[in-house]
Amino acid sequence: MRKRAVIVANDLSIGYHSGKKKTLVHSDINLTLYTGELTSLLGANGTGKSTLLRTLSGSQPALSGRLLLNDKPVSSFSEKEKSKSIGVVLTDKTRAGGLTVYELVALGRQPHTGFFGRLRKKDHKIIKEALDWVGIRHKASSYTAELSDGERQKVMIAKALVQECPLIILDEPTAFLDAVSRIEIMTMLHKLAAEQNKAILLSTHDIEQALVLSDRLWLLSKENGLESGVTEDIISSKKMERLFPNDKIKFDYDHGVYYPLVQSERKINVICDDRTTLHWVINAFNRNGYACIINEDKNDFPLLIINKSRDYSLISKGDNQNFTTFEELLDYITAQE
Amino acid sequence: MGYKGLKYCLLLSLLIIILVAANLLFGSVKIPADAVWNILCGNEVEKSSWTYIVWESRFPQAITAMLCGASLAACGLMLQTVFNNPLAGPSILGINSGASLGVALVMLTGGAAISSLSFTLSSFFSILLGAFVGSMAVMLLILFFSTLIKSNIMLLITGIMIGYITSSAISLLNFFATAEGVHSYMIWGMGNFGGVSLTQLPYFTAICLFGLFITILMIKPLNALLLGSRYAENLGINIKRTRNILLIATGILAAVTTAFCGPISFIGLAVPHISRLMLGTSNHNSLMPVTILTGSVIALICNIICILPGEWGVIPLNAVTPIIGAPIIIYVIINQRRIQYFN
């Protein structure tokens, strides 16, 4: 399948009109959103992620610049045309607890149905396919109020699916979900992009999952505006640091996570061959205010040698101590102070 | 509409026919059933006063109760969906009290002209006009605030505040009015389905049916609004226009019923809940018709309860409706978790 640009923006300025006052949130945004790709929008709170999503979905006008949806200006779309081009999944609380899953997903057919919203045979077929696709068909006749948060999110995705839009925009679809549901939803969205050739754009704070499953990342920050690129290109050009310009936070390029930077006078030498154990040793000492010096022993700081799991020996001022758990080790170290 | 909705519609329609018949048969004057039948068929009966009672009092009263209940219930359902709030209703949003203020202005400032309880036609139309202007003024005020206030709950509270202001204006008018004016306003305020005469009935019916017709046309956007305004917008609904049409339809229905029958409480608030509990759905495809029909049924039942004392007189309508309405609202609030229709 060839990828196609669904949304193209040039020199876009986003923000709010309130009366005569203009509040500019971002300017000079250039971006392209492709079909067949899952794009994740990352950024700190208050950087304007939601404003950008609302502008792209056409529910809020851009302040200036060019914004094309399927090669036509977004502002030229009627409400009905827009509803057939962009499906959204929001964080808004709905009051649809009294509708069954089937009825709620059926609402997604409204742009395609007539004045009274009667569903035809074709509509029922599309609804059932979407329910199968998100794996919620068995709950079709349950009230949406009875669903878990993860299931409800699947239902809203199915609603966006039956709108039959080339583009689906999701505002923090994995917020409030447990780890299993988060991975499930993200995997499903990636599959949706790849198999149905849809353009999927989502905002998220779940950076771990975003790095695993996004084809493209959009980094939004006050300082650098919007930076876009294929996930691994963003990583290899060391741009993740710029997402949170803060000298207390570092990005761990090995593990794809952010961590608090330790600036400590207290240091410890660590010698360890196993990478996994080493990672958790550093984790433990960082948390307790120690910086670790890895695999070198040319100073006066204490030395921790890890022979194998559950066998830790600490050499400090000629004194040699052996431990089998981190609890004993950390208790000893903190007692020394 | 599903099978269940259709079943309830048929059942409720049957119930309405039975209740209308009961309303024609019973009243403060005893009229035998066969005489009522003869009167309705246009035949002569032994007492000409019976013909007058059935045609001039009982028949318009039954039809008025039926339409009034339907209109108020439809109003309540629309407002509850538009404002995303189970406690919204024409009386809470200040629409009823707006109409009341209009009526109070007409009755109390021109109070001397209305000397008895039976209004002349011209005074009647001025009361109708007062109610219309009053409720529309509140509607416009709420529409204006809705452009400033995005949150539905805040808008609801604004509506309640407007209601308080109109109530205090009414109190002030009462303070300065004549004793006669206050008395007739008080009687009107008690609510009464008997306020529409046979000659006025066609106008009343036409306005109610017009409002109900708009309501039926808005079923699709009402369903979309269950997801909240931003989702509804994404489904191709023009939020501003839809909200305005719904509020205007509500205004028309609330104004016409309040003008003719007084500020009737609780029917608009409680009937949508009764219908939801019966049907077990908030899908307007079946909920809207069932709510309209249930409104008629409840209003007709209330009317029968009002005339229960027979020759002893008539119980004020607003003494009956809260007895039916308030327990249902309390039930819904207590069982909020179990009754999931607003979760």
> What Å distances lie between residue A247 and A286, A290, B252, CA to CA?
16, 18, 63
Say whether pLDDT at A31 is over 90. yes
Query: A88 and B283: CB-CB below 8 Å?
Result: no
Amino acid found at A55: T
**Confidence class of residue B120 from pLDDT cuts 50, 70 and 90?**
low
Cβ of B283 within 8 Å of Cβ of A59? The answer is: no
The predicted-structure confidence for B218-230, as pLDDT tens digits, reads as follows 999 999 999 988 9
Average pLDDT over residues B17-27: 91
Q: To the nearest whole number, what is the mean pLDDT of chain A?
A: 89
Looking at residue B284, its pLDDT comes to 94
pLDDT band at B112 (very low <50, low <70, confident <90, very high): very low
Question: pLDDT tens, B274-322?
Answer: 999 889 889 999 999 999 999 999 999 999 998 887 777 788 888 899 9
pLDDT of B338 strictly over 70: no
Pick the range with the lowest mean pLDDT from A26-35, A48-57, B41-50.
Answer: B41-50
pTM value is 0.87
pLDDT digits (tens, 9 = 90+) for A55-90: 999 888 899 999 999 999 998 999 889 999 999 999
Q: What is the pLDDT at residue B153?
A: 77
Is B234 in Cβ contact with A97 (below 8 Å)? no
The full set of domains in chain B, from first to last, is 3-342 (1.10.3470.10)
Q: How many CB atoms lie within 10 A of CB B179?
A: 8
Instruction: Flag if B343 and A97 touch (Cβ within 8 Å).
Output: yes
Structure confidence at residue A215 (pLDDT): 95
- Residue ranges matching CATH 3.40.50.800 in chain A: 267-336
Which tens digits make up the pLDDT trace of A282-320? 889 888 888 888 877 677 888 888 887 788 888 887 788
Segment B41-86, tens digit of pLDDT: 877 777 888 888 888 889 999 999 999 999 999 999 998 898 887 8
Q: How many residues does chain B have?
A: 343
d(CA A287, CA A310): 20
Buried b (16+ CB within 10 A) or exposed e, B39-65: beeeeebeeeebbebbeebbbbbbbbb
pLDDT in tens, A82-135: 999 999 999 888 888 889 999 999 999 999 998 888 899 999 999 999 999 999
Nearest to B64 by CA among B190, B214, B199, B205: B205
3-state helix, strand, coil in chain B (%, to 5): 75, 0, 25
> Are A58 and A69 spatial neighbours (Cβ–Cβ below 8 Å)?
yes
pLDDT tier at A193, thresholds 50, 70, 90: very high
Q: From CA B80, how far away is CA B332, in angstroms rounded?
A: 14
d(CA B126, CA B193): 18
- pLDDT at residue A37, rounded to an integer: 94
Report the C-alpha gap between A99 and A118 in whole angstroms: 16
Q: What is the reported pLDDT for B128? A: 75
Question: Which of B82, B7, B86 shows the shortest CA–CA distance to B286?
Answer: B7
- First CA to last CA across chain A, in angstroms? 63
Q: Looking at the complex, does the CB of residue B115 fall below 8 Å from at least one CB of chain A?
A: no
Report the candidate in A101, A84, A71 with the shortest Cα–Cα distance to residue B236.
Answer: A84
Q: Which residue has the higher pLDDT, A185 or A252?
A: A185
pLDDT band at B124 (very low <50, low <70, confident <90, very high): low
CATH number, domain A5-243: 3.40.50.300
Task: Give the DSSP H/E element, type plus range, for residue A230.
Answer: strand A225-230
Q: B237 and B227 in contact (C-beta within 8 Å)? A: no
In angstroms, the Cα distances linking B267 to A320, B272, B298 are: 84, 9, 8
Cα separation values, B150 from A15, A59, B90, Å: 18, 15, 20
Of A59, A100, A107, the CB nearest to B224: A107
Q: What is the pLDDT of residue B122?
A: 65
- In this prediction, residue B273 carries a pLDDT of 92
Of A79, A80, A145, the CB nearest to B343: A145
pLDDT number for residue B121: 57
A100, β-bridge pairs: A143
ipTM of the complex: 0.86
- Tell me how far apart the alpha carbons of residues A41 and B285 are, in angstroms, rounded to a whole number: 38
Burial class (CB in 10 A: 0-12, 13-18, 19+), B289: buried
For residue B184, the 8-state DSSP code is H
Q: Which pLDDT band holds residue B340 (cuts at 50, 70, 90)?
A: low
CB B159 within 8 A of CB B93: yes
pLDDT at B113: 47
Do the beta carbons of residue A38 and residue A200 sit within 8 Å? yes
- Which residues lie across from A17 on neighbouring strands? A22
With an 8 Å Cβ cutoff, the interface of chain A facing chain B consists of: 57, 59, 79-80, 82-84, 86-88, 90, 92-100, 103-104, 107-108, 110-111, 113, 115-117, 143, 145-146, 163
- Give Cβ neighbours of residue A7 (< 8 Å, ≥ 6 apart): A31, A32, A33, A56, A67, A68, A69, A167, A199
Helix B59-82, helix B239-261: angle, nearest 10:
150
**What's chain B's average pLDDT?**
85
Identify the closest residue of chain A to B279 by CA–CA distance. Answer: A98
Give the pLDDT confidence score for residue B94 in this predicted structure.
82
Whether B343 shows a pLDDT value over 60: the answer reads no
The answer to whether residue B117 scores a pLDDT higher than 80 is no
Q: Which of residues 320-339 of B touch A (CB under 8 A)?
A: none
- For the domain A267-336, what is the CATH code? 3.40.50.800
Distance of alpha carbon A29 from alpha carbon A10, whole angstroms: 6
Q: Using the beta-carbon criterion (under 8 Å), do B230 and A98 form an inter-chain contact?
A: no
Chain A residues within an 8 Å CB radius of B283: 98-99, 103
**HSE toward the beta carbon, residue A132, CA cutoff 13 A:** 6
Amino acid (1-letter code) at residue A71: D
Report the C-alpha gap between A151 and A125 in whole angstroms. 21
pLDDT in tens, B146-191: 778 767 778 888 888 988 999 899 888 888 888 887 887 888 888 8
pLDDT at A122: 95
Report CA dihedral (B120, B121, B123, B129) to the nearest 10 degrees: 160
Residues B229-255: what's their mean pLDDT? Answer: 89
Integer angstrom CA distances of residue B241 from A31, A76, A261, B132, B147: 33, 19, 53, 21, 12
Q: Which residues of B touch A84 (CB under 8 A)?
A: 236
- The two most distant CA atoms of chain B are separated, in Å, by 66
- The dihedral through the CA atoms of A205, A208, A213, A219 has a sign that is positive
DSSP B86: T
CATH 3.40.50.300 placement within chain A? 5-243
Report the pLDDT value the prediction gives residue A97, as an integer from 0 to 100: 87
Report the percent of chain A where pLDDT is more than 70: 99
What span, in angstroms and rounded, lies between the C-alpha atoms of B267 and B68? 9
